[in-house]
Structure 1
Amino acid sequence: MSSDNSQKTLPFGEFIALLAFLMSLVAMAIDAVLPAMGQIGHAYQVENVNDLQLLVGVLFAGLAIGQLIYGPISDSAGRKPAIYLGLLTFLVGSLISVFADDYNTMLLGRFIQGVGVSGPKVVAVALVRDQFQGREMARVMSFVMAVFIVVPAIAPSLGAGILYIAGWREIFGSFVLLTAVIFLWFALRQPETLAKEKRIPLSLRNIWRGSKETLSNPIARAYTFAAGLIFGAFVCYLSTAQLLFKDIFQVDVLFPLFFAILALFVGVASLVNGRLVMKFGMEQLATRAMQGMVTLSSGFVALLWLSGGEVPLWLFMVFTALIFACIGLLFGNMNALAMQPLGHIAGIASSVIGALSTFVSMIFGGLIGQAYNGTLYPLFIAFALLALGALLITAPVRSAVSLEQANETK
Structure 2
Amino acid sequence: MSSPPTPARAPSFAEFVALVAVMIALTALSIDVMLVALPDIAASYGVTTANDRQLIITLYMAGFAVGQILSGPLSDRYGRRPVLFVGLVVMAVAALLAALAPSFQLLLAARFLQGLGASAPRVLAVAVVRDRYAGREMSRVMSFAIMIFVVVPVLAPSVGGAVLHLGPWPWIFALMGLGAVATLVWAALRLPETHPPERRVPLSATRLTGIVLEVVRCRRTLGYTVAAGFLFGGVLAYVSSAQQLFVDLYDLGALFPLMFGGVAVVMGVASLVNSRLVMQLGMRRVSHVGLVLYLGVWLLGGVLGFPAQPPLPLLVLMLAAAFFFSGLAMPNCNALAMEPLGHVAGTASSFIGFFTSALAALVGWMVGQAFDGTVRPLLVGFAAVGVSALLAVLQTERWRLALFHTPADGTARG
TM-score past 0.5 threshold: yes
**What stretches of structure 1 of length at least 5 have no aligned partner?**
1-6
Q: After the TM superposition, which segments of 4 or more aligned residues of structure 1 sit over 6 Å from their partners?
A: 399-402
Aligned residues of 2:246 and 2:256 also touching (Cα < 8 A): yes
Within 2, Cα distance between the matches of 1:310 and 1:181?
Answer: 42
Structure-2 residue corresponding to 1:337: 336
Query: Are residue 358 (structure 1) and residue 357 (structure 2) matched?
Result: yes
SS of 2:192 mapped into structure 1: coil
Aligned partner of residue 405 in structure 1, secondary structure: coil
Worse-superposed segment, 149-158 or 391-400: 391-400
Deviation at 1:45, TM superposition (A): 0.2
Separation in structure 1 between the aligned mates of residue 177 and residue 368 of structure 2, nearest angstrom: 29
Most deviating of 327-336 and 274-283: 327-336
In the alignment, structure 1 residue 14 sits paired with structure 2 residue 18: no
Instruction: Write the distance in 1 (CA, Å) between the matches of 2:341 and 2:175.
Output: 37
The 8 Å contact of residues 298 and 381 in structure 1, kept in 2 or not, is answered as: no
- What does residue range 248-259 of structure 1 map to in structure 2 within 5 Å? 248-259=249-260
* 1:405 equivalent in alignment to 2:406: no
Structure 2 residue aligned with 1:240: 241
Deviation at 1:244, TM superposition (A): 0.7
The residue that corresponds to 1:4 in the other structure is none
Map 1:93-172 onto structure 2 (within 5 A): 93-172=94-173
Aligned match of 1:199: 200
Deviation at 1:9, TM superposition (A): 4.2
2:190 maps to amino acid: R
Counterpart Cα distance in 2 of 1:253 and 1:202: 51
More helix by share: 1
**Tell me, what secondary structure is at the counterpart of 2:397?**
helix
Identity between Structure 1 and Structure 2 (%): 39
SS in 2 for 1:254: helix
Provide the rounded CA distance (Å) in 1 between the counterparts of 2:276 and 2:9.
25
Deviations, residues 254-281 of structure 1 (Å, cap 9, x unaligned): 1000011011000110111001000111
1:182-331 matched pairs, under 5 angstroms: 182-305=183-306, 309-331=308-330
The structural deviation recorded for 1:38 is 0.2
Counterpart in 2 of 1:3? none
Q: Which amino acid aligns with 2:246?
A: F
Q: Is the 8 A contact 2:135 2:410 kept in 1?
A: no
CA deviation map 1:359-401 (0-9, x unaligned)? 1111111011111011111112111111111111111333699
Deviates more, 1:309-318 or 1:90-99: 309-318
Distance 1:393 1:113, change over 3 A: same
SS across alignment from 2:70: helix
The answer to whether the Cα contact below 8 Å between 1:298 and 1:380 also exists between their aligned partners in 2 is: no
Closer, same or farther: CA 403–279 of 1 in aligned 2, 3 Å: closer
Q: Any idea what SS the aligned residue of 1:192 has?
A: coil
Check conservation: 2:80, 2:195, Cα contact below 8 A.
Answer: yes
Consecutive unaligned residues of structure 2, counting only runs of 5 or more, are 1-7
Alpha-carbon distance, 1:116 to partner = 0.3
- Tell me, in whole angstroms, the C-alpha distance in 2 between the residues paired with 1:367 and 1:32: 23
Q: Which residue of 2 aligns with 1:83?
A: 84
Instruction: Tell me how far apart the structure 1 counterparts of residues 250 and 303 of structure 2 sit (CA, whole Å).
Output: 19
Letter of the 1:373 counterpart: D
- CA-to-partner distance for each residue in 1:207-260, whole Å, 9 max, x for gaps? 111121111111000011111111111111011000011122111111000011
Shift of 1:407: 8.4
* Alignment partners' CA distance in 2, 1:8 and 1:290: 40
8 A contact 1:291–1:388 mirrored in 2 = no
- 1:82 Cα offset (Å): 1.1
Deviation at 1:316, TM superposition (A): 1.0
Answer whether contact 2:10 2:190 (CA < 8 A) is retained.
no
AA partner of residue 326 (structure 2)? I
Over 3 Å counting, the alpha-carbon distance change for 1:188 and 1:8 in structure 2 is closer
The match for 1:372 is 371
Shift of residue 12, structure 1, vs aligned partner: 0.7
Match of 2:41?
A: 40
1:55 alignment counterpart: 56
**Aligned residue type for 1:381:** V
Q: Structure 1 residue 331: deviation in Å?
A: 2.1
- Alpha-carbon deviation of 1:404? 4.5
Distance in 1, Cα, partners of 2:9 & 2:167: 44
Aligned length, in residue pairs = 400
* Structure-2-length-normalised TM-score: 0.94
Partner of 1:23: 24
Write the deviation string for residues 72-122 of structure 1: whole angstroms up to 9, x where unpaired. 001010011111111011111101101111101110110000000000001
Residue type at the aligned position of 1:377: R
- Tell me the distance in 2 between the aligned counterparts of 1:289 and 1:328: 8
CA RMSD, 1 decimal: 1.7
Asked whether the 8 Å contact 1:230–1:390 carries over to 2, the reply is: yes
CA distance in 1, matches of 2:222, 2:234: 19
Distance 2:308 2:337 in 1: 38
Question: Shift of the alpha carbon at 1:406?
Answer: 6.3
CA 1:299–1:127: 2 relative to 1, 3 Å:
same
Query: Is the contact made by 1:290 and 1:388 (CA closer than 8 Å) also made in structure 2?
Result: no
What residue number does 1:348 align with?
Answer: 347
> Which range is displaced more, 391-400 or 156-165?
391-400
CA distance in 1 between counterparts of 2:247 and 2:153 reads 19
The one-letter amino acid of 2:222's match is: R
The answer to whether the 8 Å contact 1:304/1:311 transfers is no
Letter in 2 for 1:49: A
The alpha-carbon deviation at position 50 of structure 1 amounts to 0.8
Distance in 2 between the 1:310 and 1:387 partners?
21
| Counterpart residue identity of residue 161, structure 1 | A
Whether the aligned pair in 1 keeps the contact of 2:224 and 2:336 (CA below 8 Å) is yes
